[in-house]
Amino acid sequence: MTEQHTSDGLSSSSPEELEEAIYEFIQVFSDAENEVSRMMVGMKDIIRGTLSAIFAGGHVLLEGVPGLGKTLLVKSVSTVLGLSFKRIQFTPDLMPSDVTGTQVLTEDESGRRSFTFKPGPLFANIVLADEVNRTTPKTQAALLEAMEEKQITVLDQTYTLPKPFFVLATQNPIELEGTYPLPEAQLDRFLVKLLVSPPSSEDLKEILRRTTGVHIPEVRTLLPAEQMQEVISRMRLLVREVVAPDPIREVVVRIMMALTPGSDYATDKVNKYVRFGPGPRGAQSMVLCAKVAALLDSRINLAFEDVKSAMASTLRHRLILNFQAEADGVTADDIIEEVRSAK
């Protein structure tokens, strides 16, 4: 499949090549989804959201109380995809150099000393930023350049991170002591924010069955690392080839305006509870995730339902609410649902 793109978003690929590429996309995605589901119970939407973000080329923020399997999910995804994996346990005393790496003084056989860069745990395809909101803003800021530009700078020297590169971060919504809320600029770097809910009674019984017996489930790696890297690269290009017609782009713009207080399309609830609406990166994220949904439905063009399905996960962390919203118990999801229902 060629990488040359025309002005409407489609590449010069033939219909047969596109059909074959879509089939491969669905097959790889489904295989990964099914394999991760062998380890994770009752998390179908979370698994699909995580894989969708990866195949769209973005980062994931997982929020949920302790013990719901957020860390296990990330480890299972990295194992299934066969990509290199590093885990960073964020703590209040973690320093930026503990994340990015640092220059260390080394001595060769002749006794000559020099500084050599020792890479930090960011140098992996998938990085688990565990409890990312427990570290200081200074260390959180070390992730900004890596997440946006896929590189880090140490002592004026720039180092390129491995490709592909994904940050899958977890945070606890209820533990306030010793935590530092993620700044808006960093939240905006995440393609999606997924809310991990406690399991239902049936799911909990299945979890007990799978995890307290003699045989503990394991996941298999779908493809060797180099082959999977090539597959993900092709899949990311294919996602961008999905056509977003002008009427759909107009719908996306209306949604963004409806979530921006003071605009002509803003609802009363938005004007009352929202300080700042989502920016352009939110619209881009919503379209990319919608394109993944279209491909999984064997389509190369966006539909309105694709956009609706991507609204909550791509916009909930980009809505900045005011104190009145907190006092009245109004959440970002409540506001997004009102706008989605009105469209």
Q: How many CB atoms lie within 10 A of CB 179?
A: 18
CATH superfamily, domain 12-208, is P-loop containing nucleotide triphosphate hydrolases (3.40.50.300)
Confidence of residue 308 (pLDDT cuts 50, 70, 90): very high
Distance between CA atoms of residues 181 and 21, nearest Å: 41
Q: Report residue 23's pLDDT band, with 50, 70 and 90 as the boundaries.
A: very high
Determine the CATH number of domain 242-343.
Answer: 1.10.8.80
Sheet holding 190-195, edge to edge: 85-89, 126-130, 166-171, 59-63, 190-195
User: What is the average pLDDT score of the chain?
Assistant: 87
Give the pLDDT of residue 106: 79
Domain residue ranges in the chain: 12-208, 242-343
Task: Tell me what pLDDT residue 199 has.
Answer: 87
Q: pTM of this prediction?
A: 0.88
Instruction: Using the Cα atoms of residue 246, residue 252, residue 254 and residue 256 in order, give the sign of their dihedral.
Output: negative
Encode pLDDT of 102-157 as tens digits. 878 777 777 787 778 888 899 999 999 998 888 888 888 888 888 888 888 888 88
Query: Residue 175: pLDDT band by 50, 70, 90 thresholds?
Result: low
Give me the pLDDT at residue 195, please. Answer: 93
Per-residue confidence band for 5, with pLDDT thresholds at 50, 70 and 90: very low
